[in-house]
Amino acid sequence: MRPTGRLHLGHLVGALSNWSKLQDQYDCIFSVADWHALMGEYENASRMTEYSFEMVLDWLACGIDPKRAIIFIQSQIPAHLELQMIFSCLTPLGWLERNPTYKEQLREITSRDIQTYAFLGYPVLQAADILLYKAQAVPVGEDQLPHIELAREIARRFNFLYKTELFQDCDAILTPTPRLLGLDGRKMSKSYENAINLSDSEEIVREKISKMFTDPKRLRLKDPGHPDQCNVYSYYQIFASEQTSAVHEWCTAAAKGCTECKGILADRMISVLRPIQERRQAYASKPDVVKDILKEGQQKAQAIASETMQQVREAVFKHEL
Ligand code: SF4
């Protein structure tokens, strides 16, 4: 995950709640992808360390457990770049230019210049991130599926060219609720300024929810609404599923107005966020503990990465100098 600032509800629903459960089934490795973040934020790189730390606090607050998982910062393992370099050589340009996520981001992100060589090659670094640890599965959002497919293609091409079976196919793991829309109905993203952050205060959560887009056809209180066309309702479905039939009824019967409906949702969201914020505060008050967690993660990740790169060099160059 890229450290581009404090995490939001989209990260919780689309990734973190899933990651937390995956720790029961898999040996998990979670990387702070600061080199990926640099591709979009190279003009604000001085904040990367702060962002990385803040994000790890959010991870720990959401249940990522350093006793069961490896947590590390990507830029502390240079082997990611070595493997990316080798993969870059064998990745046809067309694979990257056709990538739908890349095209969407070029269209949607207008506040920063991302028309760079590195940004086009984003999925190549991602393939290196995955294959360096020979991951069997990667938990991703829907928008990342093309990148996982590219990682598979790169792995197959590497194996074919160097006559090896070093890399296996990796699977994508999607959460049951992979996509939470932002306040304005677009994908939730810090770049679009339409997110509720995990660390937002009660007051800010209420204010943001009060501005959410609703059913555009419900203009007056007495107009019956169409919950299936309302983003507020989709939040109920994710965060307050036991209330959805009641919401459906009061909306279609015009028994409650949107302001009241949003107020009830805000109460729920605040109760979802409160325990996360309390855990976050506990870690934030002990920064040395968090630094030790990252140091231990770096050592464990480095051990795996070194072994893979030894095998990669043997496969590519056949002889060491
Ligand atoms: Fe949406 Fe609730 Fe308003 Fe219905 S009452 S349109 S579900 S905000």
The domains of the chain, with CATH numbers, are 9-179+287-317 (3.40.50.620), 200-281 (1.10.240.10)
Distance 184 CA to ligand 1 centre (A): 14
- Burial level of 192, CB count in 10 A (0-12/13-18/19+)? middle
Q: Mean pLDDT throughout 129-142?
A: 92
**Residue 72 region, left (φ>0) first, then alpha (ψ -120 to 50), else beta?**
beta
Report whether pLDDT(286) > 90.
yes
Residue-averaged pLDDT of the chain: 92
pLDDT band at 191 (very low <50, low <70, confident <90, very high): confident
**What's the pLDDT at 321?**
59
> What's the gap in Å between 199 CA and the centre of ligand 1?
26
Lowest-pLDDT range, 184-188, 194-198, 237-241?
A: 184-188
User: Does residue 225 line the site of ligand 1, with CB under 6 A?
Assistant: yes
Residue 197 forms beta bridges with which residues? 8
Radius of gyration of the chain (CA): 22
pLDDT in tens, 56-97: 999 999 999 999 999 999 999 999 999 999 999 999 999 999
CA gap 173, 178 in Å, rounded: 10
Q: Which pLDDT tens digit goes with each residue over 208-261?
A: 999 999 999 998 889 999 999 999 999 999 999 999 999 999 999 999 999 999
pLDDT at residue 178 is higher than 70: no
Which residues lie across from 70 on neighbouring strands? 29
Q: Is the pLDDT of residue 165 over 90?
A: yes
Cα of 182 from ligand 1 centre, angstroms: 16
Spatial distance between the Cα atoms of 321 and 299, rounded to a whole number of angstroms: 26
Atom 6 of ligand 1, residue of closest alpha carbon? 215
